Amino acid sequence: MDSQLVDIDEHVIIESRLISLNSKYATNYNNGDKNSNLDFDFNAVATKDAKTLYHTVAIQSAEIPASYYNVNLSNNVINCTEGISTQPIVIAVGNYDANTFAAAFMTEYDVQFPAKPNMAFDPITGKFGLVSGTVNSDIVINLADTTAQILIGIDPKAVGTITFTGNATNTRSPFPRLVNFLGITKIKVASNALAGGNYDSVSLNTSTLVDTISTTATAFGLTIYNNIGREGYVKAKRIDEIDIILTDQDDNIIDFNAVNWTMTIILNTHRKQTFSKMDGIINLQKLTRVVEAKTKPEPIEKEILKVKFIEDVKEQFDDFDDDVLLG
């Protein structure tokens, strides 16, 4: 019998892997107890071969504690000048609302300057008001050395100084904008290993952004995220180590204060796969032997089928190229 090539049908299949991450078991803690810049040194999460077309990735779920503070080391300084003295007013890190922040500011200001100022939150306008505790003395906020602009109601792009004019009636002057103590409203999940073609308005360009998670937990609560069905393209074909960087909506690194988070990632590998279209009947002679065996007594039938099986195996090894047959 002449050798024949097996008819091959080519498909694209998807191999899915679940990757469970727990910050407690990271290989490297690149920013210490902040737990927001971590490496997980896996072994061959995704290998590169000729049949691999590309990978896609999605965050299936995440459990992220709200252990971060809305007033932290990146936004807790107000640099003030009154009279001939210029001092930074540093607010202790923690969770504040407008009233507790105003009280903390006045306490710290009183330590640095001769008199405690009058600072209060107006619940009708949503703004702070400020005036010096010394009659007719101005308070000047130096924006270049101030990091709390968004919190207290100042345009973060503003430059120079803002002056709160003193007066004899102790009337407070309002800040330009509303206060903002919402803190972290969105968590950006970035990864160099899993980077694709996502865009971010912070840079107005492609970035290593993998996904975003809207925070829903109140202070010291837990944000629980479940995927809504989206996944993203991954540029890399080979993945061994997975790095995870968690930042807020303004790309500030989050400080989780040594509290751990968990996350489950789905990595989908899109791969070429070949299959044989053979129906199992190789030729008419073999079909005839099968039909003939069914008409014989049971012992003879078994013997005929046994011989057929041995011949089939031998013929496949003799007549077909193994790589083509197996795809």
The burial class, CB within 10 Å (0-12 / 13-18 / 19+), for 111 is exposed
Q: Give the predicted TM-score (pTM) of the model.
A: 0.78
Mean predicted confidence (pLDDT) in 14-33 = 95
Q: What is the pLDDT of residue 64?
A: 98
Nearest to 50 by CA among 238, 322, 307: 238
Q: What is the pLDDT of residue 33?
A: 96
Q: What is the pLDDT of residue 230?
A: 85
The burial class, CB within 10 Å (0-12 / 13-18 / 19+), for 28 is exposed
Q: What is the pLDDT of residues 138-195, one digit of tens each?
A: 999 999 999 999 999 999 999 999 999 999 999 999 999 999 999 999 999 999 999 9
Q: What is the pLDDT of residues 41-66, one digit of tens each?
A: 998 888 888 888 899 999 999 999 99
CA dihedral sign, ordered 293, 294, 295, 299? positive
Question: Which domains are present in the chain?
Answer: 9-68+184-275 (2.60.120), 77-174 (no CATH), 278-326 (no CATH)
Q: What is the pLDDT of residues 253-297, one digit of tens each?
A: 999 999 999 999 999 999 887 766 555 544 555 556 666 665 666
92 or 318: which leads in pLDDT:
92
Q: What is the pLDDT of residue 323?
A: 43
- DSSP 8-class letter at 94: B
pLDDT exceeds cutoff 50 at 325: no
Structural element, H or E, at residue 284: helix 284-294
Residue 260 C-alpha from the chain's centroid? 15
Q: What is the pLDDT of residue 24?
A: 97
pLDDT exceeds cutoff 70 at 98: yes
Q: What is the pLDDT of residue 313?
A: 46
Q: What is the pLDDT of residue 77?
A: 98
Q: What is the pLDDT of residues 213-255, one digit of tens each?
A: 999 999 999 999 999 888 899 999 899 899 999 999 999 999 9
